[in-house]
């Protein structure tokens, strides 16, 4: 079993500053001190909306591609999407588990778990063995997520969201807190809108965060397929979907095309990774 002790030289420097700090960290993956140099915690609702997924994919991919390590809690929703977006941007990510280091939780995310390790990321926990997560272990896990990171980004959060615990811990540790604005009508935006109301810095582009890390202007996605080699209809579709997700019928009316024309083109664009689909609506996450 691989471990790092709190009194050892390999223990992350920022984590040494928090109280109470973990006495020991169990981990899987290749421990490399460089992965801890510039960490950003990304947290949000388990009830992630299409908007939350889109904005997480866009911003986190850009941030990770600039060399910032994305730290999150591996739960379904925004956490898992943040890990995926970091890998999509060919960056590094650290999953902090609320369970024993030998358990994958949730178990159905085993493919993501393996991908994190295959891409030289880390899975860490302060709990040994295959212990199941407990109610107390989630907030305990959150203090590690915040403690490893110079800043925290809250994507979506309801009024009772566990993400607000991480936000409070971020403030307690004297770290920078960022928040994504969300729709007034969304229940998972009420917590984030309260943070903004109380003075938390709002993020509208990756550079808002990259500037904090002195990496401004380096947030361009390595996957820039949306910018080049598009035909006329593809460009028109992209421009429409930049505004909001749309179904085929609505998009067809906007473009003055038949549903068959637009549907066929969308299917091809989806195969090429130019658009994404959720239920009956299409959207782009690389604007």
Length of the chain: 287
Whether 29 contacts 117, CB under 8 Å = yes
pLDDT tops 70 at residue 218: no
The model's pLDDT over 74-83, given as tens digits with 9 standing for 90+, comes to 999 999 999 9
Same domain, 89 and 204: yes
The model's pLDDT over 103-134, given as tens digits with 9 standing for 90+, comes to 999 999 999 999 999 999 999 999 999 999 99
Residue 255: φ, ψ to 5°: -95, -5
Instruction: Provide, rounded to the nearest whole percent, the portion of the chain with pLDDT above 90.
Output: 74
In a domain, 222, yes or no: no
The CA–CA distances, whole Å, from 65 to 12, 85, 86, 106, 190 equal 22, 10, 7, 26, 30
In a domain, 217, yes or no: no
Same domain, 7 and 146: yes
In a domain, 192, yes or no: yes
From 40, 101, 43, select the one nearest 76 (Cα to Cα): 43
Q: Please tell me the distance from the alpha carbon of residue 37 to that of residue 261, in angstroms, as a whole number.
A: 49
From 193, 231, 78, 213, select the one nearest 145 (Cα to Cα): 78
- Strand pairing class (246-247; 39-43): unpaired
In a domain, 82, yes or no: yes
Same domain, 173 and 269: no
Same domain, 182 and 277: no
In a domain, 110, yes or no: yes
Residue 21: DSSP 8-state: P
Q: Please tell me the distance from the alpha carbon of residue 140 to that of residue 132, in angstroms, as a whole number.
A: 14
The model's pLDDT over 154-176, given as tens digits with 9 standing for 90+, comes to 999 999 888 999 999 999 999 99
Same domain, 109 and 48: yes
**Which of the listed residues 153, 177, 212 is the one where a domain comes to its end?**
212
Whether 43 contacts 151, CB under 8 Å = no
Mind giving me the DSSP string for 131-190? PPP-TTHHHHHHHHHHHT-SEEEE----TT-THHHHHHHHHHTT-EEEE----TT-GGGH
Same domain, 248 and 178: no
Instruction: Output the pLDDT for position 278.
Output: 83
Same domain, 164 and 276: no
Whether 116 contacts 88, CB under 8 Å = no
Q: Please tell me the distance from the alpha carbon of residue 263 to that of residue 252, in angstroms, as a whole number.
A: 9
Contacts of 232 (CB under 8 A, 6+ apart): none
Domain CATH for 243: 1.10.10.10
Confidence of residue 217 (pLDDT cuts 50, 70, 90): low
**Structural domain tally of the chain?**
2
pTM: 0.80
In a domain, 219, yes or no: no
Where on the phi/psi map is residue 182: left (φ > 0), alpha (ψ -120 to 50), or beta?
beta
Same domain, 202 and 252: no
Same domain, 111 and 203: yes
Range of the domain at 8: 3-212
Same domain, 188 and 67: yes
Question: What is the largest distance, in Å, between two alpha-carbon atoms of the chain?
Answer: 67
pLDDT tops 60 at residue 227: no
Same domain, 205 and 259: no
Instruction: Output the pLDDT for position 222.
Output: 41
Same domain, 187 and 250: no
| Lowest-confidence segment of 141-145, 151-155, 184-188, 190-194 by average pLDDT | 184-188
In a domain, 131, yes or no: yes
Domain CATH for 7: 3.40.50.450
**Which of the listed residues 183, 212, 241 is the one where a domain comes to its end?**
212
**Which of the listed residues 156, 182, 212 is the one where a domain comes to its end?**
212
């Amino acid at each position: 079993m691989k471990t790092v002790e709190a009194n050892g030289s390999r223990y992350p420097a920022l984590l040494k500053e928090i109280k109470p700090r973990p006495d020991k960290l169990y981990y899987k993956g290749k421990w490399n001190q460089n992965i801890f140099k510039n960490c950003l915690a990304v947290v949000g609702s388990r009830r992630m909306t299409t908007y939350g997924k889109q904005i997480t994919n866009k911003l986190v991919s850009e941030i990770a591609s600039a060399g910032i390590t994305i730290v999150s809690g591996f739960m379904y929703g925004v956490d898992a999407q943040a890990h995926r977006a970091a890998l999509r941007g060919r960056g590094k990510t650290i999953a902090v588990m609320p369970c024993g280091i030998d358990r994958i939780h949730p178990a159905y995310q085993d493919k993501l778990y393996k991908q994190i390790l295959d891409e030289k990321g880390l899975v860490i926990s302060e709990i040994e063995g295959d212990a199941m997560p407990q109610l107390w272990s989630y907030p305990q896990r959150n203090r590690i997520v915040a403690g490893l990171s110079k800043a925290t980004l809250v994507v979506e959060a309801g009024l009772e969201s566990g993400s607000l615990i991480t936000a409070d811990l971020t403030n307690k540790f004297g770290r920078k807190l960022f928040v994504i604005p969300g729709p007034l009508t969304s229940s998972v935006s009420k917590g984030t809108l309260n943070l903004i109301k109380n003075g938390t810095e709002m993020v509208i582009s990756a550079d808002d965060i990259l500037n904090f890390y002195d990496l401004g202007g380096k947030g361009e996605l390595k996957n820039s397929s949306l910018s080049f080699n598009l035909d006329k209809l593809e460009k028109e579709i992209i421009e429409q979907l930049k505004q909001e997700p749309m179904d085929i019928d609505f998009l067809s009316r906007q473009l003055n095309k038949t549903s068959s024309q637009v549907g066929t083109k969308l299917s091809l664009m989806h195969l090429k990774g130019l658009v994404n689909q959720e239920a009956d609506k299409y959207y782009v996450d690389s604007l």
